[in-house]
Amino acid sequence: MRCIAVDDEPLALALIKSYIERVPFLQLIGTYDSAYEALEVVQQQDIELVFLDINMPDLTGLQFIRSLSKPPAIIFTTAYQQYAVEGFELDAVDYLLKPYAFERFLKAVNKANRQTARPAAKPAAQPIAPAPATAAPAAPQPSAENSEEFIFIKVEHNILKLNLKEVFYIEAFKDYVKIHTNEARAVLTIKSMKAMEEMLEGKGFIRIHRSYIVSIEKIESMRNNRVMVKGKSFPVGENYKELFYEKVVKGKI
């Protein structure tokens, strides 16, 4: 994949250049500290992937994308998580929150490689695993059905990055939902259960009741149409039984 990196911080560009050089299927065309200069390159050359900072002077990363009629695949690299929602609305492949490790970078580029793969006579470039050098062992990669490890939700006036591996269950609470994690205090956000269910589609969660969504991985036991999660018993509602038994009991997730 022909790619470029755009960031007004020299150290950030140096880091991403070193990461790109470790991935065989990435071809670095150039690094740019000016979004205007990078824009000209994208318009004139066949660039398939752009690593793009958001908060840059003169032209922001979001303005950069909006100025292109057919933007290439975009992976945001930024220290500002408040831009995440708007970034994903622009169909970004991924959002790397600085500082990020090589394993997280690799997950993002593997995802970009899968999404932009073109039919060709020769085999497509295959995603690679991190080199087993001095770095610590990488965490197990999620399955295709659980391809994202986190979501962004609005909590009061902030956008919170929520690690889905830490979520046990979600509970309806008037006009809010309570997200129960391995922390003692639940996260409260303004969102309907329906919207939460759609957001978690394919991420290892299942709605079992009009008031509850649970992590399939965190289910401890099942008995008499009830499931045990985090030491608490939850009912499986009549309208959700068929899907629950199909996906969880029969394992057709």
Checking if the pLDDT of 57 tops 80, the result is no
Checking if the pLDDT of 207 tops 60, the result is yes
Q: Which domains does the chain have, with CATH numbers?
A: 2-116 (3.40.50.2300), 146-249 (2.40.50.1020)
Checking if the pLDDT of 51 tops 90, the result is yes
For 175, phi and psi rounded to 5 degrees? -90, 10
Of 60, 109, 67, the C-alpha closest to 82 is 60
Of 150, 113, 142, the C-alpha closest to 128 is 113
Phi-psi label, residue 174: left if phi above 0, alpha if psi -120 to 50, beta otherwise? left
Location of structure tokens 């979520």: 167
List the end-to-end C-alpha distance of the chain, in Å, as a whole number: 32
What pLDDT score does 127 carry? 56
Rounded distance between C-alpha atoms, residue 54 and residue 34, angstroms: 12
pTM of the predicted protein model = 0.48
Location of structure tokens 């066949």: 46
For residues 85-97, average pLDDT: 71
